Amino acid sequence: MRIRSISLNNVRRFTSPVRLEGLSNGLNVLCKPNEFGKSTLFDALQAVFFKAHSSSDKDIKALRPHAGGAPEVTVEIETDDGRFTIAKRWMSKPSATIEKDGRLIAQADEAESWISQLLGGGDGGPSGLLWVRQGLTALTEGSKKEQKAALEARRDLLSSVTGEVEAMTGGRRMDMALARCREELLNFATPKGRPKAGGPWKAAEELVEALLAEHKNLATTATNLRHDLKERKRKRRELTELEDPEAAASRKERLKDATAELQAAERHAEAVESESRKVDAARLIVTNLKTRLTTLRDSTKERTDAEEAVANASKEATAASLNLESAEATRAKAQLQLKESQIAYKNALDALRASQRRQAALDGAERRKELIERIKNAQTARNNMESAAAEAKRGPDSKSLRQLEDLASDLTTARAIRDGEAAQLIMAYDEGSEGKIKRNGEELPGDRPLAIPNGADLAIEGIGVLTVSAGTGGQDDGSVDKAEKALFAALERHGCTTIEEARNAAEARDAAEHRRMEAKASLDSLAPDGIEDLRAKLAAIPELKEVEEDVPPLADAEQLLAQADDTRLKAETSRTAATDHLSDARSTSSRIDAELKAAQERLSRATASLGRLGDTDETALNDELRRATTALEAAEALHSEKVRSSPDLAAAEAKLKRAQSVEETARAEIVRLKPELATLDERIARSAGDAVEERLAETDQKLEVAQATLARIEQEVAVLLRLETVLEEARSDARERYFEPVAIELKPLLQLLWPDAELSWGDKTLLPTALIRNGQEEPIEILSGGTKEQVALLVRLAFARMLAKHGHNAPVILDDALVFTDDDRIELMFDALHRQADDLQILVLSCRQRAFRNLGGNSVRVTTRSLSSNTA
Amino acid sequence: MTLEGPGAPPTVEEVETGAFLWINTELPLLPNTDCARALEAVLPDEGRRDILIRVRATGWASLQQQADLRQAAARLGPDFAHFDFDTNMLGTTYDDADLDDIDKAGALRLAANRLKEGTESETLSAEERAVSAGALARLYAYVKEAAE
């Protein structure tokens, strides 16, 4: 919504129509001196939007001019739906109309609800806050004193921002409502919602409980009482019936008759019993006789049979005895034969084993011989190998020989060099004088040069000794001696004296090595696994012994064994057969013996039995039996006659028992009923005294009342709890919906004035508590008036921005908002306002004409009908 | 009761200690009735100290009326020996003006709107609706009480 024009008529000092025009989008400024009526304008705007045309309260009355009249305010606005004119008139002929393009679209209450819709009411949003003049909360102009107070309040940031915050969160009124709700709730319940001890709720609950318990008690007592009364009535009737004299006499009569009847029946029964005994005696005699007759007949026949059996058994026993003897003889013979055949079999088996050993020995003899030969040869080869190896270690090997040869050649070379350099003697003998000169006792050879490096003593026969001296020309440098010494030392190490000897020794060594190799090859071929292995193989071959020379050949031994085995098996079979036969004979014999003994016993029993019968014979017994039978028949006839005529004893007994039981039951019932009645009388008397029924009815009534009270209290508690919950939820919702967004909107605005500044907000009051600048926290109370009002303005702008974001474009009207702010700061503030004006309509009312002259914004025109025009 | 001496029959004399009148009365209300006056009209004018009375309000009343009624009951009740005021049968009518009285906007209005929804909700049980109605009336009463 954006405001396009405002017209006033009959509003305070504007007794003639006045009109504000040219309100554009963005920042609008109305700069007028004091007493122009800016605040009146402001109040009139508020009245249009928030005061029903029917209202005539003090706010509206305050709008009237001193001269009286009906205040009229008309506002032109523009929304997304087009341009509308809202007109309101109060007091006399009040009206409210909404027109669109000169066409009436709503009036009276319809118009009011249209306005309320326009302001976005209904969703609980803070629609009105932007219309509130800073600091002032009421529309009244009031007295001078009140205006002064309002001015003071206007400077107070807290009161001003508190207005907005309260609008959002319900503020103090919300706190009050919650506190009242909780206070009332605490009368009834604990903070956890349980009935409070000592409170009316708890008391009502306890009362209901107590009454319920009492009611239950009384109800039980009453039920018991009713039951007792019924019982007593019934028992009394029973007792009366039992004690009736006629009934008692009839019971006695019946008892007497039954007793007499029973006695008669008993007497007759005794007579029948006596006859019965007589019949029994007669029957016993007959039975006795019959038994004796049968026994006599049986015993006679038994004796004849037994005699025959004894004779037969004796004959059989003799035959069995003979049979047994022969079977024993057969078995003994068979046993003997078996033993012999077993011995023969064992011998044959031994012979076979000996034959097998001999055969093995014979088979191995050839191989033994060969092995012995191989062992001998191998031994020889080893001996040879060892002696050759010993020889092969003597004398120089080829390398040593080469060294010796080198030394010998060095010596020869040394000698040749020395002799070449030394003085020489050449003796040319005269004919016949050969050998007449001797050197070291030997003849000096002639005609050939002889080197004398060390000079020489020549003994000339017959003349004397000629000494030739070699002089000191160093003819001998000692190298020959050195070579000689080296050669001899080397020769000595190998045990030789000359180089030839050494050469021979080396040759002998080679030959010995050769022999060793040959001997080793021979040994390897003879005994590849060593001689010990051959010896072990030899030991494994059996040797033929002298004593086993005469055993039969293997084939014969095998045949003999087979025969022996056959014989043994046969003997075994016949022995088993004989044994079986013997045991059969034995059992037959003993069975027949037992039979014989049984027959003999039977005979003796039969004889004894006959003896016991004495000498009575059959005919006499038969006569006696016939007489006894006749007597029995007579007794039986008499007995059955008596039985037929006897009365029913059991029936008589039953009748008597019944009569007795009737009498006894009646007596017992009387005895039982009397004390029971006494008990009931006592109990009823006691209960009746307690006035149970009356008390029950009374308790019922009390319970009803108590339950109703409890229900009312519970309803009350539910109402309070619900209210508490809804209030708390609404407050926290409002906080979430408005408070956080406003804080977010505020931040960039604050930074425009004070970079890095931040407001901190009280958690519970939701009011700004401190301004944080450059990390310094300054409580709001100590801020300067200018800073306070700047903060307040910015907070307001933040609200506007937040609303705009929610889709409610509400104009912001600032009435002398910047009283304490210096000019520089005002410029900064106007930067903030311009910044807002992009998406908001802002109307600034100010008296500071000079300060506002160069700050930009659209200047608003004011026209009055009486004066043709008036420019701002 | 007087006893002359041992064995003598007691002399009994009757003394009147008090007489109470029980009254059960109904208070029918309509949305436009002046409730305080209506209540006063059904109450007896004299001998209130000796009267035990139960007033049962019926019909319909707005939040404002109910608040007035409650105030009147609190004012008049102490005159009687026993005064029981039962509004269980009294229905509540709501209009936006009532809610505006609580608050035009903001959190209190939010709470009032929610309670009103609760009283009109078809998904809630009758008891729950009654609880919401009671809570709304109470909120209205608190706000009024604070405004005075």
pLDDT tens-digit readout, B18-60: 788 888 888 888 777 788 888 888 888 888 888 888 888 888 8
B73 plus B126 within the same structural domain: no
Query: What is the pLDDT, as a whole number, of residue A865?
Result: 62
Task: Spell out which residues of chain B touch residue A723, defining contact as CB-CB under 8 Å.
Answer: 115, 135, 138-139
Q: Which of B93, B109, B127 is the last residue of a domain?
A: B93
| Partners of A465 in the β-ladder | A459
Are B137 and B127 in a shared domain? yes
Say if the Cβ atoms of B107 and A180 lie within 8 Å.
Answer: no
Please tell me the predicted confidence (pLDDT) of residue A133. Answer: 42
Q: Could you tell me if B83 and B99 lie in one domain?
A: no
Sheet with A27-31, side-by-side order of all strands: A812-815, A842-846, A27-31, A858-859
Q: Do A730 and B131 touch (CB under 8 A)?
A: no
Consecutive H or E run containing A425: strand A424-426
Same domain, B29 and B85: yes
* CA dist., res. A296 & res. A292, Å (int): 6
| Helical H segments across A468-553, by residue range | 479-493, 499-526, 531-540
Q: Which residues of B touch A733 (CB under 8 A)?
A: 107, 110
Q: How many other CB atoms are there within 10 angstroms of residue A843's CB atom? A: 23
* Whole-number Å distance between alpha carbons of A168 and B103: 11
- Taking CA–CA distances from A714, the nearest residue in chain B reads B131
User: Does some domain include residue B15?
Assistant: no
Q: How many CB atoms lie within 10 A of CB A443?
A: 14
C-beta of residue A821 within 8 angstroms of C-beta of residue A190: no
| B113 and B77 part of one domain | no
Residue A142 lies in a domain: yes
CA distances from B91 to A580, B112, B144 (A): 127, 17, 20
User: Quick check: is B123 in a domain?
Assistant: yes
Q: Please give the tally of structural domains in chain B.
A: 2
Residue with tokens 């017959």: A462
Using the beta-carbon criterion (under 8 Å), do A180 and B110 form an inter-chain contact? no
> Is residue A37 included in any domain, yes or no?
yes
Measure A140 CA to nearest chain B CA, in Å. Answer: 18
**Is residue B82, in this structure, part of any structural domain at all?**
yes
Q: Is residue B11 part of a domain?
A: no
| ipTM of the complex model | 0.71
CA of B74, closest CA in chain A: separation in Å?
A: 16
| Long-range contacts of A744-749, Cβ-Cβ distance < 8 Å, separation of 24 or more | A745/A797, A745/A798, A745/A799, A745/A801, A745/A802, A745/A805, A746/A794, A746/A795, A746/A798, A749/A794, A749/A797, A749/A798, A749/A832, A749/A835
User: Which residue among A122, A128, A169 places its CB closest to the CB of B107?
Assistant: A169
Asked if residue A43 belongs to a domain, the reply is: yes
Residues B62 and B103 reside in one and the same domain: no
Q: Is residue B12 in some structural domain?
A: no
Token pair in block for residue B58: 């019926």
Structure tokens at A22: 């040219």
* pLDDT at residue A651 in the model: 86
- Long-range own/partner contacts, residues A386-393 (CB < 8 A, 24 or more apart): A388/A512, A388/A513, A388/A515, A388/A516, A388/A519, A389/A512, A389/A516, A391/A508, A391/A509, A391/A512, A391/A515, A392/A509, A392/A512, A392/A513, A392/A516, A393/A509
Q: Specify if A109 maps to a domain.
A: yes
Cross-chain CB nearest to B106 (options A122, A167, A718): A167
pLDDT of residue A125: 42
For residue A110, the chain B residues in CB contact (below 8 A) are none
Mean pLDDT by 10 residues, chain A (872 residues): 84 84 80 75 78 78 82 86 87 87 84 74 43 37 45 44 56 76 84 80 88 89 88 89 85 87 85 87 88 84 87 87 89 91 90 82 81 89 88 82 88 83 81 83 82 80 82 68 86 84 87 88 85 84 64 82 89 90 90 89 86 77 86 87 82 88 88 88 79 84 88 86 86 71 73 71 60 74 68 72 70 68 72 68 74 70 58 36
- Does residue B25 lie in a domain region? yes
Residue of B nearest to A711 (CA): B88
Question: What's the pLDDT score for residue A350?
Answer: 87
Closest approach of chain A CAs to the CA of B111, in angstroms? 5
Q: Which CATH number is A43's domain given?
A: 3.40.50.300
Residue that is last in its domain, among B58, B75, B93? B93
Closest alpha carbon within chain A to B86 = A712
Radius of gyration of chain B (CA): 23
Please indicate, yes or no, if residue B136 is contained in any of the structural domains: yes
Q: Which of B96, B131, B146 sits opposite A718 (nearest CB)?
A: B131
- Residue B9, min C-alpha distance to chain A (Å): 25
Residues B65 and B110 grouped into a single domain: no
Question: Which residues, numbered 714 to 743 in chain A, qualify as contacts with chain B under a Cβ-Cβ cut-off of 8 Å?
Answer: 715-716, 718-720, 722-723, 726-727, 729-731, 733-734
B73 shares its domain with B100? no
Q: What is the dihedral of CA A300, A302, A303, A308, to 10 degrees?
A: 130
Residues B52 and B86 in one domain: yes
On whether both B127 and B99 belong to a single domain, the answer is: yes
Q: d(Cα A481, Cα A484) in Å, to the nearest integer?
A: 5
User: Cβ separation of B139 and A723 shorter than 8 Å?
Assistant: yes
CB atoms within 10 A of CB A740: 12
Instruction: Give yes or no for a contact between A476 and A418, defined as CB atoms under 8 angstroms apart.
Output: yes
Q: Judge if B118 and B70 occupy the same domain.
A: no
Question: Do B112 and B140 belong to one domain?
Answer: yes
Is residue A848 included in any domain, yes or no?
yes
d(C-alpha A504, C-alpha A515), whole Å: 17
Three-class DSSP category at B95: coil
Domain count, chain A: 1
The parent domain of residue B120 ranges over 94-148
Q: What is the pLDDT of residue A339?
A: 92
Range of the domain at A846: 1-155+814-872
B4 inside domain: no
Q: How far is residue B123's CA from residue B16's CA, in Å, rounded to a whole number?
A: 58
